[in-house]
């Protein structure tokens, strides 16, 4: 095998371009991309290719099919229906893994129409441009429609939100058609998420998908007056979307009928079960009457599996690809920058036509730091920058997001408030100015640079202050094929060596 991963069938030098390759003779293998002589095997797929050019084309095709099945694929891959063998094949092809409840997990679906969804919901999906389900949607939607509880993980930006909203909207519609005389319209589902921005986004998507159906939503987040939120719930809503703190506050001050809640969702579940949120989440959960539990994140640990499992009697685990790894579509460039040089380095990047790819989000670790850095960027480089963090009032946070997403401001400096879940479709570049405290947060943060498998770029500043993360960071960079700064390699191996000595190897 050569460095590029092609295995020559003979000792010839690997052809670079398809055009350099000859036509196949009768009976000879053909390149699966261009049909010239398929001289080499692409070891990642076992398919014949003629050149490095076609190998790259094949890998791109395989990659995009992982995120989103190509239209033509659906003509020859049958919907598995009830055949468990076909379901296994499709799962293997799309890297879908399921665990728990054995054969009781329904097979994945290739189209939204195979899910038995209300026609209006199908129309809304079509209007939203959701022509085919993504792999997580293929498996999670049919599984959640059965009423079973799920713990699901898939890459950042791979469509997890619709994976829980579609079953919720469908089940709420069914509930209303089965209980036509129930006029009370008590909430039937609740979604909790860690930040206001994420709740706003989930609500927007819920409204879009539930349009024209008996499906209303209430947003229960801090920063907006509680009276309006309460009034809306009292008027009758199907879905409450909120941050745990404000929901607890609301429930402790007012009586809200929660007995009808059938589905309880924790988006970004690993964050929601961490200290800080966990007690509030549990308090809310205990006020419900054993609902279906849907838990979603791009990063899930054993601990989360354990705690999540304790919320439901039986839980199905669904994962796509390798959980807890950075999204492959995100190109990571790690640069070693001493703490004192970070600002200057950032200014250099923002001034460089080659390196600055606006709109860009710069992630920092402190609120004051976010304000100061945004100001410094504007003054020193002339590039307009704004900041966003948890201490700003909701109205200002909305305005800042509006200016950034509307293209008026090319740089947004953010703390973790935009680190998870938020779908920043316009963003082309993420700059990690301060490393987050865990590698999981890092995976979420860099995930903002890519949605639905679109290529995105991240620049990551690393230095000795991030020592705790070195081994995990090296693994994350390696798994994505990114270059590792030599300082990071040297210090990581020294660190590992010292650790071994400390434990007496």
Task: Write out the residues near ligand ATP by the rule CB under 6 A.
Answer: 129-130, 133-134, 137, 156-162, 298, 421, 423, 425, 447, 451-452
CA separation for the pair 268, 192 (Å, rounded): 9
To ligand ATP, the closest distance from the beta carbon of 70 in angstroms equals 13
CA separation for the pair 429, 446 (Å, rounded): 9
CB atoms within 10 A of CB 142: 19
CA separation for the pair 448, 438 (Å, rounded): 16
To ligand ATP, the closest distance from the beta carbon of 329 in angstroms equals 12
To ligand ATP, the closest distance from the beta carbon of 134 in angstroms equals 5
- By C-beta, is 330 or 350 nearer to ligand ATP? 330
Tokens of 333: 């460039």
- Nearest one of 189, 150, 153 to 171, comparing CA atoms: 189
**Residue bearing tokens 């409840």:** 101
The secondary element (H helix, E strand) that includes residue 428 is none
Task: Work out the angle between the directed axes of helices 244-253 and 226-235 (0-180°, nearest 10).
Answer: 70
To ligand ATP, the closest distance from the beta carbon of 501 in angstroms equals 39
- By C-beta, is 53 or 327 nearer to ligand ATP? 327
- By C-beta, is 331 or 375 nearer to ligand ATP? 331
To ligand ATP, the closest distance from the beta carbon of 111 in angstroms equals 10
To ligand ATP, the closest distance from the beta carbon of 164 in angstroms equals 9
- By C-beta, is 126 or 257 nearer to ligand ATP? 126
- By C-beta, is 161 or 324 nearer to ligand ATP? 161
CA separation for the pair 110, 67 (Å, rounded): 13
Question: Is residue 429 within 8 Å of 358, Cβ to Cβ?
Answer: yes
To ligand ATP, the closest distance from the beta carbon of 81 in angstroms equals 21
DSSP annotation of 38 reads: -
To ligand ATP, the closest distance from the beta carbon of 161 in angstroms equals 3
CB atoms within 10 A of CB 332: 24
To ligand ATP, the closest distance from the beta carbon of 129 in angstroms equals 6
- By C-beta, is 136 or 362 nearer to ligand ATP? 136
Q: Computed over its alpha carbons, how large is the radius of gyration of the chain?
A: 25
- By C-beta, is 192 or 349 nearer to ligand ATP? 192
Cα three-residue angle 366-339-364, rounded to 5 degrees:
25
- By C-beta, is 202 or 374 nearer to ligand ATP? 202
- By C-beta, is 300 or 349 nearer to ligand ATP? 300
| Long-range contact set of residues 141-145: C-beta below 8 Å, sequence gap at least 24 | 141/109, 141/112, 141/115, 141/166, 141/167, 142/106, 142/107, 142/108, 142/109, 142/114, 142/115, 143/98, 143/105, 143/106, 143/316, 143/318, 144/263, 144/292, 144/294, 145/106, 145/115, 145/116, 145/170, 145/171
């Amino acid at each position: 095998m050569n460095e590029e991963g092609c295995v020559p069938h003979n000792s010839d030098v690997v052809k670079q371009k398809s055009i350099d390759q000859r036509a196949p003779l009768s009976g000879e293998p053909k390149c699966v991309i261009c049909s010239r002589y398929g001289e080499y095997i692409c070891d990642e797929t076992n398919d014949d290719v003629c050149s490095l050019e076609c190998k790259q084309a094949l890998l791109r095709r395989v990659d995009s099919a992982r995120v989103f099945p190509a239209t033509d694929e659906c003509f020859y891959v049958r919907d598995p229906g009830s055949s468990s063998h076909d379901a296994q094949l499709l799962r293997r092809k799309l890297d879908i893994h399921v665990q728990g409840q054995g054969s009781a997990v329904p097979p994945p679906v290739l189209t939204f129409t195979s899910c038995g969804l209300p026609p209006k919901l199908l129309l809304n999906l079509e209007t939203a441009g959701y022509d085919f389900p993504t792999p997580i949607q293929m498996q999670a939607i049919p599984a959640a429609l059965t009423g079973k509880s799920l713990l699901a993980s898939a890459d950042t930006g791979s469509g997890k939100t619709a994976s829980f909203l579609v079953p919720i909207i469908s089940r709420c519609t069914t509930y209303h058609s089965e209980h036509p005389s129930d006029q009370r319209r008590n909430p039937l589902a609740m979604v909790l998420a860690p930040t206001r921005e994420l709740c706003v986004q989930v609500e927007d998507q819920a409204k879009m998908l539930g349009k024209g159906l008996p499906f209303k939503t209430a947003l229960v987040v801090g920063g907006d007056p509680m009276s309006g939120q309460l009034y809306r719930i009292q008027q009758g809503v199907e879905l409450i979307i909120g941050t745990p703190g404000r929901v607890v506050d609301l429930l402790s001050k007012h009586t809200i009928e929660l007995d009808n809640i059938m589905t309880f969702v924790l988006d970004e579940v690993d964050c929601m079960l961490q200290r800080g949120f966990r007690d509030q989440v549990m308090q809310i959960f205990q006020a419900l009457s054993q609902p279906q539990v849907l838990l979603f994140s791009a990063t899930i640990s054993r601990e989360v599996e354990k705690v999540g499992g304790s919320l439901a009697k039986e839980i199905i685990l669904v994962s796509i690809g390798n959980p807890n790894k950075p999204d492959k579509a995100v190109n990571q460039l790690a640069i070693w920058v001493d703490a004192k040089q970070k600002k200057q380095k950032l200014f250099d990047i923002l001034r460089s036509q080659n390196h600055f790819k606006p709109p860009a989000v710069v992630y920092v670790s402190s609120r004051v730091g976010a304000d100061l850095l945004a100001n410094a960027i504007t003054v020193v480089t002339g590039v307009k920058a704004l900041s966003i963090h948890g201490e700003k009032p909701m109205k200002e946070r909305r305005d800042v997001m509006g200016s950034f997403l509307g293209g008026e401001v090319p740089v947004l400096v953010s703390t973790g408030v935009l680190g998870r879940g938020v779908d920043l479709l316009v963003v082309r570049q993420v700059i990690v100015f301060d490393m987050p405290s865990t590698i999981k947060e890092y995976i979420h943060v860099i995930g903002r640079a890519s949605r639905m498998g679109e290529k995105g770029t991240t620049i990551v500043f690393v230095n000795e202050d991030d020592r705790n993360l070195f081994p995990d960071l090296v693994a994350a960079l390696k798994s994505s094929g990114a270059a590792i700064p030599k300082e990071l390699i040297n210090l990581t191996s020294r660190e590992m060596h010292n650790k071994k000595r400390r434990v007496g190897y």
